[in-house]
Chain A
Amino acid sequence: MEPLLHPEPHPAETVLLSKRFRLPNSRSIDTFLANGGFQSFRKALAMTPDQIVDELKASNLRGRGGAGFPVGMKWGFVPRTGAKPRYIVVNADESEPGTCKDRVIMQYDPHRLIEGCLIAARVIDSRRGWIYIRGEYRYLIDLMDQALEEAYAKGWLGKNIQGTGFDFDLSTHSGAGAYECGEESALLESLEGKRGNPRIKPPFPATSGAFQCPTILNNVESYAAVPDIIEMGGAAYAALGVAKAGGTKLTCLTGHVNRPGVYELTLGFPVRKMLEEVGGGIRNGRKMKAFIPGGSSCPVLTGEEAWEATMDYDAMAKLKTMLGSGGVVIIDDTTDMVKLALRIMRFYKHESCGWCIPCREGTLWLTKLLTRLDEGAANAHDIDMVGELAENMLGRTFCALGDAAALPTISIVKKFRHEFEAKIASSSVSMTGAGLVRIHS
Chain B
Amino acid sequence: MTFSPQLEARLSKLVQNYPPGRLKGALIPMLMYCQDEVGAVTRELTEEVASRCGVSTLEVDEVVGFYTMLRSQPMGKTHLQICTNISCMLWGGEELWNHACHKLGIGHNQVSEDGSISLEEVECIGACSWAPAIQTNYDFHHHVTVERLDQIIDGLRKKQ
The chain A residues found within 8 Å of chain B, CB to CB, are: 1-2, 4, 85, 94-100, 102-103, 128, 130, 134-139, 169, 171-179, 190-196, 211, 252-256, 260-262, 292, 296, 327, 329, 331, 335, 340, 343-344, 347, 350-351, 353, 440
Chain A residue nearest in CB terms to B137:
A138
Q: With an 8 A cutoff between CB atoms, is B3 at the interface?
A: no
Contact A128 B126 (CB under 8 A): no
Chain A residue nearest in CB terms to B143:
A2
Chain B residue nearest in CB terms to A130:
B17
B17 to chain A, nearest CB (A): 4
* Residues of B close to A169: CB separation below 8 A: 17
* Residues of B close to A261: CB separation below 8 A: 129
The SS class assigned to the A binding surface is mixed
Beyond A97-B86, A128-B19, whether A193 also contacts B131 by CB under 8 A is: no
* Residues of A close to B131: CB separation below 8 A: 254-255, 260
B138 to chain A, nearest CB (A): 4
A137 to B125, CA, bound (A): 8
Contact A4 B26 (CB under 8 A): no
* Residues of A close to B39: CB separation below 8 A: none
Chain B residue nearest in CB terms to A331:
B90
* Residues of A close to B129: CB separation below 8 A: 4, 100, 252-254, 260-262
A319 to chain B, nearest CB (A): 20
Contact A135 B32 (CB under 8 A): yes
A194 to B70, CA, bound (A): 13
Contact A256 B90 (CB under 8 A): yes
Contact A190 B28 (CB under 8 A): yes
Can you list 20 A-B pairs, Cβ within 8 angstroms, ordered by A? Answer: A94-B126, A97-B123, A98-B124, A100-B128, A135-B67, A136-B135, A175-B67, A176-B28, A176-B63, A177-B67, A177-B69, A190-B28, A193-B26, A194-B24, A194-B63, A211-B19, A211-B22, A255-B87, A260-B128, A296-B124
B72 to chain A, nearest CB (A): 13
A296 to B91, CA, bound (A): 16
A336 to B141, CA, bound (A): 26
Contact B138 A98 (CB under 8 A): no
A351 to B141, CA, bound (A): 23
* CB within 8 Å of A: which B97-130 residues: 108-109, 121-130
Q: With an 8 A cutoff between CB atoms, is B80 at the interface?
A: no
The answer, among A98, A138, A173, A179, for a CB contact under 8 Å with B123, is A179
Q: A252-B128, A327-B128 are in contact. List 6 more A-B contacts (CB 8 A).
A: A97-B128, A130-B17, A135-B67, A173-B25, A335-B90, A347-B123
* Residues of A close to B62: CB separation below 8 A: 194-195
The answer, among A137, A192, A262, A350, for a CB contact under 8 Å with B22, is A192
Beyond A177-B70, A261-B129, A347-B123, whether A97 also contacts B87 by CB under 8 A is: yes
The chain B residues found within 8 Å of chain A, CB to CB, are: 13-14, 17, 19, 22, 24-29, 31-33, 53, 55, 59, 62-63, 65-70, 84-87, 89-91, 108-109, 121-131, 135, 138-142
* Residues of A close to B14: CB separation below 8 A: 171
A347 to B84, CA, bound (A): 10
Contact B128 A211 (CB under 8 A): no
B57 to chain A, nearest CB (A): 14
Contact B87 A254 (CB under 8 A): yes
The SS class assigned to the B binding surface is mixed
Contact A178 B66 (CB under 8 A): yes
Contact B130 A95 (CB under 8 A): no
Contact B126 A99 (CB under 8 A): yes
Contact B69 A135 (CB under 8 A): yes
Contact B69 A255 (CB under 8 A): no
Contact B55 A193 (CB under 8 A): yes
Contact B85 A343 (CB under 8 A): yes
Contact A329 B67 (CB under 8 A): no
Contact A176 B67 (CB under 8 A): yes
* Residues of B close to A344: CB separation below 8 A: 86
Beyond A174-B33, A195-B66, A211-B25, whether A139 also contacts B123 by CB under 8 A is: no
The answer, among B84, B123, B139, for a CB contact under 8 Å with A351, is B123
Chain A residue nearest in CB terms to B60:
A193
Chain A residue nearest in CB terms to B138:
A138
Chain A residue nearest in CB terms to B53:
A193
Contact A97 B85 (CB under 8 A): yes
Chain A residue nearest in CB terms to B91:
A255
A343 to B124, CA, bound (A): 11
* Residues of A close to B89: CB separation below 8 A: 340, 343
* Residues of A close to B65: CB separation below 8 A: 195
A35 to chain B, nearest CB (A): 25
Contact B19 A176 (CB under 8 A): no
Beyond A193-B53, A260-B130, whether A296 also contacts B67 by CB under 8 A is: no
A373 to chain B, nearest CB (A): 17
* Residues of A close to B22: CB separation below 8 A: 192, 211
A331 to B68, CA, bound (A): 29
A99 to B17, CA, bound (A): 29
Contact B142 A176 (CB under 8 A): no
